[in-house]
Structure 1
Amino acid sequence: MEGVVVRRVIPSDNSCLFNAVGYVMEHNRSKASELRQVIAATVASDPEKFNEAFLGKPNEAYCAWILDPEKWGGAIELAILSEYYGREIAAYDIQTTRCDLYGQEKKYNERAMLIYDGLHYDALAMSPFEGAPEEFDQTIFPVDHSRSIGLAEGLALNLVREAQRKRSYTDTANFTLRCGVCQIGVIGQKEAVEHAQATGHVNFQEYK
């Protein structure tokens, strides 16, 4: 199929990873609470695999944490969701143009794609032409014997490189944030996390 790879924007509500996965897997941007439940159940069911060293916190604490709609998902959650749907998930990082492939070792025969800007996940879809309605989106791609998804892969990478060229990503080591609660400025993810741990404030806005 000829077409273009487009970025389908997912709302920035701390659940973008889950809703982006919901969109590429089921064309549904409101899957977050359901997919958080799936992840918590998966983790709780295998405390040996999902141990404290792997999760960065005790199994039970992690399960309570991931169910909180304010908390963000990342690599652990993508790996679990890839297995849940039985498909690879390719997450393209704009800043480095790297593609992290989840579920690769399972040799699934389909793949979906996300794009990540350092803070936020959006969905990638193949559309017949720029501006075509979303119902025409193809978001699941067959993986061939060389572990490629053909044309869509090259188009996705071009889109990611173009976004990088425009610097439309957040450099999480050096970006400036303001705490929405006490208005103090912090630099980078590390300082933001330290401030959040010290004060319990988690409402940060980026400012230039």
Structure 2
Amino acid sequence: MDEIVVRRVIPSDNSCLFNAVGYVMEHDKTKAPYLRQVIAAVVASDPGKYTEAFLGKPNNEYCAWIQDPDKWGGAIELSILSEYYGREIAAYDIQSTRCDLYGQGKSYQERVMLIYDGLHYDALAMSPFEGAPEEFDQTVFSIRSDRSIGPVESLSLNLVKDAHRKRSYTDTANFTLRCGVCQVGLTGQKEAIAHAQATGHVNFQEYR
């Protein structure tokens, strides 16, 4: 029976990036509070590298912000977690089918994989068969001399392309949102961020 690549759904609780990383690294979907602390400690320890220009906010402000369970992670956090675990993190974007590789060029020997739909991160794993329990998942893959991880790479890309064909992503530049507090309609991530900064409202629902 052929092994397959599966998408392991991570709860949508604003900590999906951290819990997805926890799952692929340690088979643990509850690592977010710990990993947020790790990131804050790394950033606080190197203000020369993690400047306001790099973080988008002062170093100490960022360290408090990233430990808030309602705040989302992104590229900065993935690069830090890649270094923390000493493994590459491949993040597949469904909308563009692009793969962003964190930890590249560091000579790491292993790689894990995530999938991103514009708003949410899930974990990718190799499963022995359709419907197999999660305890059988393989989530860490050895990197070969050609810097690939073998057949699992093309299987993962096929899964991403299939999700793209089904439009299983959110176009964050053009999607429509409604503020759950004041019901105002908004278009795209920029308008949502501007509205949140102006009003303090952060409860948005996507609508079509």
Name the aligned partner's letter for residue 90 of structure 2: A
Q: CA deviation at 1:2?
A: 4.1
Give SS of 1:23's match.
helix
Q: Could you say if the C-alpha distance between residues 2 and 143 of structure 1 is closer, same or farther in structure 2, counting changes exceeding 3 Å?
A: farther
Name the aligned partner's letter for residue 63 of structure 1: C
Q: C-alpha distance in 2, partners of 1:105/1:43?
A: 21
Q: CA deviation at 1:182?
A: 1.0
Q: C-alpha distance in 1, partners of 2:128/2:165?
A: 25
Q: Give yes or no for the alignment of 1:34 onto 2:34.
A: yes
Question: 1:182: which partner in 2?
Answer: 182
Q: C-alpha distance in 2, partners of 1:182/1:15?
A: 25
Q: C-alpha distance in 2, partners of 1:2/1:34?
A: 36
Question: 1:157: which partner in 2?
Answer: 157
Q: C-alpha distance in 2, partners of 1:158/1:169?
A: 15
Question: 2:92: which partner in 1?
Answer: 92
Name the aligned partner's letter for residue 19 of structure 2: N
Give SS of 1:104's match.
coil
Alignment map for 1:7-156 (pairs within 5 Å): 7-156=7-156
* TM-score normalised by the chain length of structure 2: 0.99
Name the aligned partner's letter for residue 102 of structure 2: Y
Give SS of 1:172's match.
coil
Q: C-alpha distance in 2, partners of 1:66/1:102?
A: 19
Give SS of 2:33's match.
helix
4+ residue stretches of structure 1 with deviation over 4 A? none
Give SS of 2:10's match.
coil
Question: 1:170: which partner in 2?
Answer: 170
Give SS of 1:90's match.
strand
Q: C-alpha distance in 2, partners of 1:76/1:192?
A: 21
Q: C-alpha distance in 2, partners of 1:139/1:107?
A: 19
Q: CA deviation at 1:197?
A: 0.4
Question: 1:207: which partner in 2?
Answer: 207
Q: C-alpha distance in 2, partners of 1:2/1:113?
A: 19
Give SS of 1:80's match.
helix
Q: CA deviation at 1:70?
A: 0.5
Unaligned runs of 5+ in 2: none
Identical positions, percent: 80
Name the aligned partner's letter for residue 185 of structure 1: G
Q: C-alpha distance in 2, partners of 1:28/1:185?
A: 37
Q: C-alpha distance in 1, partners of 2:178/2:130?
A: 36
Q: C-alpha distance in 1, partners of 2:16/2:82?
A: 16
Give aligned pairs, total: 208
Give SS of 1:84's match.
helix
Q: CA deviation at 1:105?
A: 1.6
Q: CA deviation at 1:198?
A: 0.3
Name the aligned partner's letter for residue 141 of structure 1: F
Q: C-alpha distance in 2, partners of 1:191/1:89?
A: 30
Give SS of 1:106's match.
coil
Question: 2:4: which partner in 1?
Answer: 4
